[in-house]
Amino acid sequence: METIKTDVAIIGAGGAGLRAAIAVAESAPDLKVALISKVYPMRSHTVAAEGGAAGVIKQGDSLEDHFNDTVAGGDWLCDQDAVDLFIRQAPVELTQLEHWGCPWSREKNGHVAVRPFGGMKNERTWFAADKSGFHILHTLFQTSLKYPSIERYDEFYCTDLIVADGVCQGVSAIEMRTGLMQLFQARSVIIAAGGAGWMFPFTTNGAIKTADGMAMAYRAGVPLKDMEFVQYHPTGLPGTGILLTEGCRGEGGILVNKDGYRYLQDYDLGPPDPWPRNKAMELGPRDRLSQAFWHEQKKGRTVGSRWGDVVYLDMRHLGEKKINEKLPLVRDLAASYVGADPVHELVPVRPVVHYMMGGIHTNIDAATPMPGLYAAGECACVSINGANRLGSNSLTELLVFGKRAGEHAVEHARSAAQPSESEIRQKGEEARKRVTDLFLREDGGENITTIRKEMNETMESGAGIYRAEDSMRETCDKVLELRERFSRVHLEDKSNVFNTNMLYTMEVGSMLEAAHAVAFSAINRKESRGSHQRLDYTARDDGSFLKHSLAYYQGEVEPRMDYLDVVITRSQPGQRVYGGSAK
Amino acid sequence: MSRKPYVREISHTTWYLARRRDLLHMAQEVTSLFIGIYTIMLLWGVKALSEGPGAYQVFLDALGSPLVIAFNWITFVIMLYHSISWFSVTPKAMPVQIGEEFLPGGIIAAGHYIAWVVVSAVIYYLAGGFNG
Amino acid sequence: MARSNKPMVWSLFAAGGTVAAFVMPVLMLLTIMAGYGQLTDSLGYEGMKSFASGWMGKLFLLVVIVTCLWHAAHRARTALHGLGLRADKAVAVIGYGIASLGSLLAVFYLLRI
Amino acid sequence: MTQRTVELSILRYRPEEDDKPWFQTYQVPCDEDWVVLDAINYVKDHLDGSLSYRWSCHMAVCGSCSMMINGDPALSCKTFIRDLPEGPVRIEPLANFPIERDLVVVMDDFMEKLQRVKPYLIRSTEKPLEEGQHLQSPAELKKFKQYTLCINCACCYSACPQYALIPEFIGPAALTLAHRYNQDSRDQGRDEREDVVASNEGIWDCSFAGACSDVCPKHVDPASAVQQMKIASTVDWFMRRLGLGGGKS
């Protein structure tokens, strides 16, 4: 096994990973960065984000408003010190991207334009038409090419963290093109490996979002925090789950049920003004909108389509010019994949799994409890998103905390003790053995596709928009069973070069571990908060659950749960008020 | 190392036959040969003109030979293809932005087509083509 | 990497392509008519002589011949490469050589009219 | 939902077993709204787990699932089965790139060339962050916006006859990226990029076949970018020789 020595190893080269790499390169040009990703950086799923990134810039907006929107949007489960830092850094980071060439949409006067977004009191979402994530990712990737200290390892699949003396000192990875295991020895490691939407059957996420980073940290003993909070985006295309940005509604699109009725007014989100009113109706938060769909479906007021039940997103009144200018991708996607041109037709939509609020437990410095290990982006949970992330906060989050992860990783790399090379090698051998064992495994009668599909089904039924004890219990048991069956999966393809059968199998392994944390955290949170809505505990219970859940890996059995107080600085938990009475 | 990337060789002489798009491109490239031959013919005419009526008559007689006439008709068609394909891509080379918007490529191309017709008509007129 | 000197020939190629696109079809048509013995007034010796004696006529013929020769030489170079001829240097020398010679001859003959 | 069975003829190449690529056929029951990628995923999940290919977003933005479909480079996630002619669908790895395995090609050359054109904002003096954003009018944005839309799928390299014949050619996507920054009102790096862009292997190896623009799934129109750079570089060349400098500072 080859050992590649570096100073900072970064796992994942999406928005957060690239931002971290640039932060290291800028603050410490003498340190070597190994930027390791299972895909080429521009394939990372940041690319698919559409709507934009929040940061206070406009006259009349205030940091305090952004703070309050975020905290209330997260149903008071956000750490307020982190939110405070986040909202202050947001405009700085977005301006930095502007300086790096990001083609933000502009006002006539040349200033960066902002659009309204769900749950936000004022317009503060910077956007680049409806390809904001694409432009952010490409700007970061292209900018990263400037720095000679950033060495990329594209298409390397990281398998395990290398922990020696209780300190994270590297990561093992399989080079996809050779099948060789490589050992990265690093003074600091940053995980920026993205989310886990693929554990669900119907998601906006790309196929690469398979919980790899979360599972790696989790197995190494770092807790996963608030995993029960899974965001459903209210407007995905049926069939494929392709995202139609909240920007559709920010620009004035409305949601109607089968009677053409703006049903959101029945769920404390009214009045149904003919113009977009911030924090009301279609500009309510995502959890509330997705839950409203669920209720409409129960009332039989959704539309039956060949892809299942849907409601309609109506953008026709926006006109062709505005749609072409602000929502060109949406138009293309809707016309191509469901045959509905938003300029002339209603577009069928339904809620779809979009984002994991939970993730690797980090503090405000993006540091995990394990020395030398940092995490940022969707795989991490700081937490600024609490129980429900507001749209357009995540792109900003990966910039703010990606940078922070980079800077704190530099600090640690400078002060870290001498690496324990023999122990690192030994840990590397163990990691290699895990993969070799997979190759050596005999046919145990289990099929990886079947296991993945059963996992998808059980996650939807037990960890969907509404949850109940029985279905969650079933899901916990099912995941446990699947994990056991997974140990009997064998590889159909035992070759070395670009073996995607091996890759997909390892990914399903990661997802099963993270899925277990999701289901088990959910069943233990006996309240309803944000995206975690229970039919058996319908109220929020601040007395018992104004706390972060921490799931600890326990091997093949259920995780151990622990809880951590939420950091409250100046906003005491209150009612989340949207609609006409929202302030 | 078990890598063994496979390089697909392409024929350096016949690659353009596989796809219509490439064939049309090669046809465009080949128009240049005809333009070259015709230009040399034109140069010969100028030479003949400079040498006096006798030489020029030899030139004119040559133009009247069936072989040359046949070649010229073919070249004429090829020239039309050159003109059409050349003008149709002009907007790519010279986009025109007025205020915020770009002038649609079709308008730029259409402008060229119109100018082409006008120029051709003027030359034809000056050569007395409309007198007969 | 060094900056290329191709702009010199490319500019002539591009100019020639444009000139050819605008005037070659109609010139072709006139040439064919001359071959059929028509338009003897204008395309006959006297007509052409008086046309080519004027500066305008000289300039017109010079521009057409020079730019179109260079257009042809440059494009034939890529065409022959595309057709599999790999002797790019030789093709360039011969093609550009013919174009240079033709350009000089055009000046020479036109000045004698 | 109506289904039809479609025959996929997929080029396989397993470097550890095969000396050269060969076609394997699969019968796939396809739904009416399936794209080619859905059919390939069906093969992977149900018929042959050993088939390798790249894909992720399934919404034509990550750029990883490009391949030759019936002889033309395209995104398999945006090519609908219903739009293809009846009969077998021929699927091959992107042309003009070495095959790593099955439908996976070696992207090294492409990645290296992207980097070579310095695709990032270059300024003689950086504006401090505290001074806020650069102003850029919507017209200035529109001037280069189209060229920012490249998803690096490399379809243009697969279609480009010049890249096929001259492997050193920097190629459509990389040159377009250079043009994207050259045209950005905030950028001052054109002269620096010219050393690469205006070399023989840069814009001058382009024969303006236009195939890149024909196949581009995002309508970026690389051919136009390269043509415009040829004109600008030609102006530079003459200006330089006339002692008037060349290009913007």
Q: Is the pLDDT of residue D232 over 80?
A: yes
Cβ atoms of residues A516 and A524 within 8 Å: no
Query: Cα distance from B131 to chain C (closest Cα, Å)?
Result: 9
C85–D contact, CB cutoff 8 A: no
Looking at the DSSP bridge assignments, the partners of residue A171 are A161, A184
Give me the CATH number covering residue C96.
1.20.1300.10
Give me the CATH number covering residue D127.
1.10.1060.10
Q: Is residue C1 part of a domain?
A: no
How would you classify the pairing of strands D89-92 and D3-12?
A: parallel
A335 with A387, same domain? no
User: In this predicted model, what pLDDT tens digit does every residue of D19-36 receive, in sequence order?
Assistant: 999 999 999 999 999 999
Q: Is the pLDDT of residue D249 over 50?
A: no
Domain that holds residue D38: 3-105
Q: Is residue D149 part of a domain?
A: yes
Cβ atoms of residues A465 and A294 within 8 Å: yes
- Flag if A240 and D1 touch (Cβ within 8 Å): no
Q: Is the pLDDT of residue B8 over 70?
A: yes
D124 with D14, same domain? no
Domain that holds residue C87: 6-112
- Flag if D21 and B93 touch (Cβ within 8 Å): no
Query: How high is the pLDDT of residue C2?
Result: 86
Domain boundary residue, one of D77, D105, D133 = D105
A216 with A296, same domain? no
- State the pLDDT confidence band at C11, using cuts at 50, 70 and 90: very high
D151 with D233, same domain? yes
Q: Is the pLDDT of residue B124 over 80?
A: yes
- State the pLDDT confidence band at D243, using cuts at 50, 70 and 90: confident
Q: How many structural domains comprise chain C? A: 1
Gap between the Cα atoms of C40 and C22, Å rounded:
24
- Flag if B2 and A177 touch (Cβ within 8 Å): no
- Examine chains A and C and say if they touch (3+ CB pairs below 8 A): no
Gap between the Cα atoms of A568 and A83, Å rounded:
10
Spell out the residues 6+ positions from residue A23 whose beta carbon is closer than 8 angstroms to its own: A402, A403, A404, A405, A406, A407, A410
Q: Which chains touch A (3 or more CB pairs under 8 A)?
A: B, D
Gap between the Cα atoms of A112 and A95, Å rounded:
9
User: In this predicted model, what pLDDT tens digit does every residue of A544-568 receive, in sequence order?
Assistant: 999 999 999 999 999 999 999 999 9
Domain boundary residue, one of D66, D90, D105 = D105
C88–D contact, CB cutoff 8 A: no
D98 with D187, same domain? no
Domain boundary residue, one of D105, D135, D153 = D105
Q: Is the pLDDT of residue D1 over 70?
A: no
- Flag if A495 and B1 touch (Cβ within 8 Å): no
A208 with A268, same domain? no
A88 with A135, same domain? yes
Q: Is the pLDDT of residue A317 over 80?
A: yes
A236 with A221, same domain? no
Which secondary structure element, helix H or strand E, spans residue A544, and what is its range?
helix A542-545
Gap between the Cα atoms of A404 and A398, Å rounded:
10
Domain that holds residue A170: 2-230+355-420
- State the pLDDT confidence band at B1, using cuts at 50, 70 and 90: low
The Cβ of residue A66 has, within 10 Å, a number of other Cβ atoms equal to 27
Chain B CA closest to residue D138: B100
Roughly how many angstroms between the first and final C-alpha of chain B, as a whole number?
80
Catalytic residue among A219, A233, A467, A540: A233
B120–C contact, CB cutoff 8 A: yes
User: In one letter, which amino acid is A499?
Assistant: N
- Flag if A207 and D55 touch (Cβ within 8 Å): yes
Compare CB distances from D199 to C3, C11, C14 and report the shortest one's residue: C3
Gap between the Cα atoms of D187 and A382, Å rounded:
36
B130, burial (CB in 10 Å: exposed 0-12, middle 13-18, buried 19+) = exposed
Catalytic residue among A19, A124, A219, A249: A249
- Flag if B100 and D159 touch (Cβ within 8 Å): no
Query: Cα distance from C9 to chain D (closest Cα, Å)?
Result: 10
A197 with A256, same domain? no
Angle between helices B20-51 and C45-53 (to 10 degrees): 90
- B4: tokens are 């063994």
Query: How high is the pLDDT of residue A21?
Result: 98
Gap between the Cα atoms of D98 and B8, Å rounded:
7
A162 with A253, same domain? no
Q: Looking at residues C87-97, what average pLDDT do you find?
A: 95
D229 with D115, same domain? yes
Give me the CATH number covering residue A305.
3.90.700.10
Q: How many structural domains comprise chain A? A: 2
Domain boundary residue, one of A333, A354, A375 = A354
Cβ atoms of residues A208 and A531 within 8 Å: no
D132 with D101, same domain? no
Query: Cα distance from B112 to chain A (closest Cα, Å)?
Result: 28
Average pLDDT, chain A: 97
C78–D contact, CB cutoff 8 A: yes
SS3 content of chain B, % helix, strand, coil (to 5): 75, 5, 25
Cβ atoms of residues A114 and A127 within 8 Å: yes
Q: Is the pLDDT of residue A488 over 50?
A: yes
Backbone torsions φ then ψ of A521, nearest 5 degrees: -65, -35
Chain B neighbors of D155, CB-CB under 8 A: none
Domain boundary residue, one of A354, A389, A408 = A354
Q: How many structural domains comprise chain D? A: 2
D114–A contact, CB cutoff 8 A: yes
Query: Cα distance from B74 to chain D (closest Cα, Å)?
Result: 23
Q: Is residue C56 part of a domain?
A: yes
Gap between the Cα atoms of C108 and C100, Å rounded:
12
- State the pLDDT confidence band at D248, using cuts at 50, 70 and 90: very low
D98 with D117, same domain? no
Q: Is the pLDDT of residue D246 over 60?
A: no
A298 with A339, same domain? yes
Q: Looking at residues A266-288, what average pLDDT do you find?
A: 93
Q: Is residue D217 part of a domain?
A: yes
D205 with D190, same domain? yes
Q: Is residue D23 part of a domain?
A: yes
Give me the CATH number covering residue D10.
3.10.20.30
- Flag if D195 and C7 touch (Cβ within 8 Å): no
- What are the structural domains, with CATH classification, of chain B? 16-88 (1.20.1300.10), 94-132 (no CATH)
Cβ atoms of residues A157 and D54 within 8 Å: no
Angle between helices D108-116 and D172-182 (to 10 degrees): 20
Q: Looking at residues D165-188, what average pLDDT do you find?
A: 98
Gyration radius of chain B over CA positions:
22
Q: Is residue C55 part of a domain?
A: yes
A192 with A283, same domain? no
Does the annotation count A233 as an active-site position? yes
Residue of B1, B6, B100, B102 for testing the chain A interface, max A β-carbons within 10 Å: B1
A328 with A365, same domain? no
User: In this predicted model, what pLDDT tens digit does every residue of B50-73 receive, in sequence order?
Assistant: 999 999 999 999 999 999 999 999
- State the pLDDT confidence band at A140, using cuts at 50, 70 and 90: very high
Query: How high is the pLDDT of residue B129?
Result: 82
- State the pLDDT confidence band at B132, using cuts at 50, 70 and 90: low
User: In this predicted model, what pLDDT tens digit does every residue of D104-133 receive, in sequence order?
Assistant: 999 999 999 999 999 999 999 999 999 999
Q: Is residue A534 part of a domain?
A: no
- State the pLDDT confidence band at A1, using cuts at 50, 70 and 90: confident
Which residue bears the tokens 């290919």? D53
ipTM score for this prediction: 0.96
Spell out the residues 6+ positions from residue B104 whose beta carbon is closer than 8 angstroms to its own: none
B1–A contact, CB cutoff 8 A: yes
